[in-house]
Amino acid sequence: MLVPFEVYVHVPFCARRCGYCDFNTYVAGPERHAAFVAHAIAEMELAAAELEGTPRASAQSVFFGGGTPTILPVEGLVELLEAVRRTFGVAPGGEVSAEANPDSVDAAYLEGLAAAGFTRVSFGMQSAVPWVLAALDRSHDPARLPDLVADARGAGLDVSVDLIYGTPGETLTDWEASVRAALDLGVDHVSAYALSLEEHTPMARRIRQGLLAPVDADEQAAKYVLADELFSSAGLGWYEISNWARPGHESMHNLGYWTGAEWWGIGPGAHSSLGARRFWNVKSPVAYADRLTGGASPVAGEETLDDAAVSLERIMLRSRTSQGLDLDDLSVEGRRTVPGLIADGLAQQRTGTANAKFVDGIVLTQRGRLLADLVTRTLAGW
């Protein structure tokens, strides 16, 4: 059977940079946006030529991330999707997602996406509390979200929102208001990320200078527990540490990353994974454009993982999901740590469907999800 295959397209532009974000994204004018579309298509053509003759499935999912993909005119995203269809192929019923900053789209834009075959949009909501959004340097008006979500659903798109918890000064009550606001939108999928303080960002600098309160780990944990409980009582179950969905609305693309799909990443800094081979593109959009203008590959580096590294990666990724880990994924030493993790309430047995008494794997408990790094290190025998 062919390994599932996915395509990621990284659009490296934003209208402005948020103070906490360390993603590979830049502020640039419309002429650079248009040139990016042409270069990304050139990269897809090179990739298709390289893959020709190798047995490979069409893409089960395509994900436009960033940056802010929707900073491109809708025609730009449509052209990119058509190029993905032409070069890699998209399986019938394939999932096609775009990330969107809420102030970068309107009803006509969302209809244009749906008409071209996009199936899903993910809005960067982050918070429903105006002062928290201001602390995050967000430019969008939270009051627009209900209409935008209704427009997206009206166009036939599945809708997800991203939330961030742990912004300096955010109280548990603020966070609860954001979680409840996300649920009130009626979305079928939510990603909730703990604020990660990235060293070279303006926010990290303001914390170092004492201008903002440092992030408190215990408070982050309390916010995770609150969100998990409110989401699951509203019918959105966790399927990955930071992702919750109504059954059937899980992101196929994200699940692919965690469960062993192969993927090709298009765009500056994008990473790809084919078998044991990992490769990544030049990070700078200028260097990326230069390479492709000259007909050269934008790949900047690559490595081939040995069996031990493949197995470690599998443990790290699969343990994040509600599908959990097969006991067969673990080494003999790793399997020996399982009873201790279960006794400590960090993992629980996963029972096989054929015979409910047959233990075939383990899944993290809520406490285990809060301490996922520790659990993974233990299972991997570090």
Ligand X SMILES: C[S@@+](CC[C@H](N)C(=O)[O-])C[C@H]1O[C@@H](n2cnc3c(N)ncnc32)[C@H](O)[C@@H]1O
Per CB under 6 A, contacts with ligand SF4 among 92-111 are 101
Q: Which is nearer to ligand SF4, 137 or 344 (CB)?
A: 137
Q: How far is the CB of 34 from ligand SF4 (least distance, A)?
A: 19
Q: Choose the stretch contacting ligand SF4; rule: CB under 6 A; options: 40-48, 62-70, 215-223, 268-276.
A: 62-70
Q: How far is the CB of 73 from ligand SF4 (least distance, A)?
A: 17
d(CA 62, CA 375): 31
3-state secondary structure of 122: strand
Task: Give 3's DSSP letter.
Answer: P
Q: In this structure, are residues 23 and 65 in contact, taking their beta carbons and an 8 Å threshold? A: no
Q: In this structure, are residues 244 and 237 in contact, taking their beta carbons and an 8 Å threshold? A: yes
Q: Contact between 18 and ligand SF4 (CB under 6 A)?
A: yes
Q: Which is nearer to ligand X, 27 or 309 (CB)?
A: 27
Q: Which is nearer to ligand SF4, 23 or 280 (CB)?
A: 23
Q: Which is nearer to ligand X, 197 or 317 (CB)?
A: 197
Q: How far is the CB of 20 from ligand SF4 (least distance, A)?
A: 7
Q: Which of ligand X, ligand SF4, none interacts with 193 (beta carbon under 5 to 8 A by kind)?
A: ligand X
Q: How far is the CB of 211 from ligand X (least distance, A)?
A: 17
Q: Is 381 left (phi over 0), alpha (psi -120 to 50) or beta?
A: left
d(CA 261, CA 273): 8
- Residues that bind ligand X in the complex, under the rule CB under 6 A: 14, 20-21, 23, 65-68, 99, 101, 124, 126, 162, 164, 193, 195-196, 198
Q: In this structure, are residues 256 and 318 in contact, taking their beta carbons and an 8 Å threshold? A: no
**ω before 67 within 30° of 0 (cis)?**
yes
Q: Contact between 17 and ligand SF4 (CB under 6 A)?
A: yes
Q: Contact between 122 and ligand SF4 (CB under 6 A)?
A: no
Q: Contact between 157 and ligand SF4 (CB under 6 A)?
A: no
d(CA 81, CA 5): 16
Name the H helices within the chain: 30-51, 74-87, 107-116, 130-135, 145-154, 172-184, 202-208, 217-233, 252-258, 285-293, 307-318, 332-343, 366-370, 372-380
Helices 307-318 & 372-380 angle (0-180, nearest 10): 150
Q: Which of ligand X, ligand SF4, none interacts with 249 (beta carbon under 5 to 8 A by kind)?
A: none
Q: Contact between 66 and ligand SF4 (CB under 6 A)?
A: yes
Q: Which is nearer to ligand SF4, 140 or 318 (CB)?
A: 140
Closest chain position to ligand X (CB): 124
**From the list 4, 69, 102, 124, which residue makes contact with ligand SF4 (rule: CB under 6 A)?**
124
Q: In this structure, are residues 58 and 89 in contact, taking their beta carbons and an 8 Å threshold? A: yes
Q: Choose the stretch contacting ligand SF4; rule: CB under 6 A; options: 21-29, 111-119, 281-289, 353-361.
A: 21-29
Given the rule CB under 6 A, which residues bind ligand SF4? 14, 17-18, 21, 23, 25, 66-68, 101, 124
